[in-house]
Amino acid sequence: MLVDGLMVGILIVANHYHFIGAISFTACLMMSTLIIARLPMMLANLSGVLLIGGLGYGLNLDSGLISHSDGKETAAAAFVMTYSALVAGLGYRTTMLLGEKRKQLSKASDEIISISDKLRRYVSPQLYSRLADHAQLDLRRETQTFGLPSDAPSDAPSDAHRNDKALCNEESARKCLTVFFSDIEGFTELMDSLEEETVTRILNEYLSSMANIAIQHGGTIDKFMGDGIMVFFGDPSTAGRNVDALACIKMALAMREKLRLLRHKWREEGIFSELHIRIGINTGFCTVGNFGCENRMDYTAVGGTVNIASRLEGQAAQDGILISGDTCKLVVGKIHACRRDPVFLKGIKRGVEAYDVLGISNKKEKEIARRAAGISLTINPGLMDTNEAKAVLRATIADIESIETRRLEKTAVLRILN
């Protein structure tokens, strides 16, 4: 490429610095350089042209290396035509090659997009997004390595890129996570009482709803285990331990409410099997990264924190959310919880401090108290489920009416006896 610049400089001197000729030669040089290389190379070639032109002028070579006599102008013109033909041929060849490459790349890109769209459903959106960003950054760097134009950032890796080593390589890292486990009660009985197609539809509808809720709250879906779900907060991105723990509890409450709505929907469709959820949540340090073999890798979290969360799920009440003391400490004042006696979990020698989550604390809403002889009623708007509250009140009214009926009957009997 640099020889081209020197050659154009010689041609300009040889043609007596003819203005049109110099412009033509320089234009051909710029075209050929930009087709093959980048802007810095074109600037280097132009510098070579100016250098040769300056030397020729200084050495008084403007009389011409190619004489005007003896038909030498014809030779000069032929030389110009030959050079132009070479440049045109090179440009055409390069353009054709680039066109073929573009077609191949477009086809390969469509195939990759199609495969990627299918594969993204097998990993959580956060992991898919990070993997895609990492691959795109590597591709841009490779493009720059081959000298192709790119609007990629500098070679210095970003913080997000550095933080993704455990995600994109076979490394692992210790991180503080809030781990969530859930399981459906009565699912085995449901499978025995319904057709397989119905069970499949119900399970997919349930898992799809739970996955959407997890994504909305920023959770990383680790895996589906039949009707069980594992989600963790704090990786690959975190908003802080306290925020992660509160987001996980809010997600659990939203899942429980969603399952209640699904039960109502399924009953309207003629499916009367009751499905209830159990949830366990724990916070602590885990080892998170790629685990598996060369042919099958799984990005997951392992450790005692994960085991405790799984065991707490098994100890939770029906539709209950059982959290550890470590999680509860991170959300003090932001939730309402009832402390349990320490629970002893399989594989855990010590008793684990546990709390039943009642709801999210709302300091703006005050409790409402109603009292009368023999009855006391307290309403907490932040914890109350209106539908369940109405059901409880209707049952309470029925009990009061039953008591009233018995009293009236007793009074009537006494009157008869008197």
- In this predicted structure, the answer to whether residue 156 has a pLDDT above a threshold of 70 is no
Q: Could you give the angle at which helices 39-58 and 19-36 cross, rounded to 10 degrees?
A: 150
Per-range mean pLDDT, top range of 5-19, 60-74, 155-169, 214-228: 214-228
DSSP letter at 207? H
Confidence of residue 178 (pLDDT cuts 50, 70, 90): very high
Write down the pLDDT at residue 369: 73
On the question of a cis peptide bond just before residue 381, with omega within 30 degrees of 0, the verdict is no
Q: What does the pLDDT average to over 91-106?
A: 81
pLDDT exceeding 90 applies to what percent of the chain? 13
Paired tokens of 28? 């051909």
CB-CB contact of 305 with 285 (8 Å): yes
d(CA 402, CA 389): 20
Range with the poorest average pLDDT among 45-49, 99-103, 375-379, 396-400:
375-379
Return mean pLDDT, the chain: 78
Write down the pLDDT at residue 148: 46
- In this predicted structure, the answer to whether residue 331 has a pLDDT above a threshold of 50 is yes
Q: Is 26 helix (H, G, I), strand (E, B) or coil?
A: helix
Domain boundaries, the chain: 2-102, 173-360, 368-417
Write down the pLDDT at residue 233: 92
Confidence of residue 147 (pLDDT cuts 50, 70, 90): very low
Angle, CA 346 vertex, CA 123 and CA 182 arms, to 5°: 35
> What is the distance between the terminal CA atoms of the chain, rounded to a whole angstrom?
126
Higher pLDDT, 145 or 120: 120
What are the phi and psi torsion angles at 121 (to 5°)?
-75, -10
Write down the pLDDT at residue 180: 95
Cβ of 259: how many Cβ atoms within 10 Å?
19
DSSP letter at 23? H
d(CA 352, CA 324): 7
Range with the poorest average pLDDT among 72-76, 210-214, 342-346:
72-76
In our burial notation (b when 16+ CB lie closer than 10 A, e otherwise), range 263-293 reads beebeeeebebebbbbbbbbbbebbbbeeee
Strand partners, 339: 355
Q: Is 417 helix (H, G, I), strand (E, B) or coil?
A: helix
Write down the pLDDT at residue 140: 60
Query: Which one of 2.60.120.380, 3.30.70.1230, 1.20.1260.10, 2.40.37.20 gives the CATH number of domain 173-360?
Result: 3.30.70.1230
Write down the pLDDT at residue 1: 74
Write down the pLDDT at residue 230: 92
- In this predicted structure, the answer to whether residue 338 has a pLDDT above a threshold of 50 is yes
Q: What does the pLDDT average to over 234-240?
A: 84
Write down the pLDDT at residue 115: 77
Range with the poorest average pLDDT among 101-110, 289-298, 320-329:
289-298
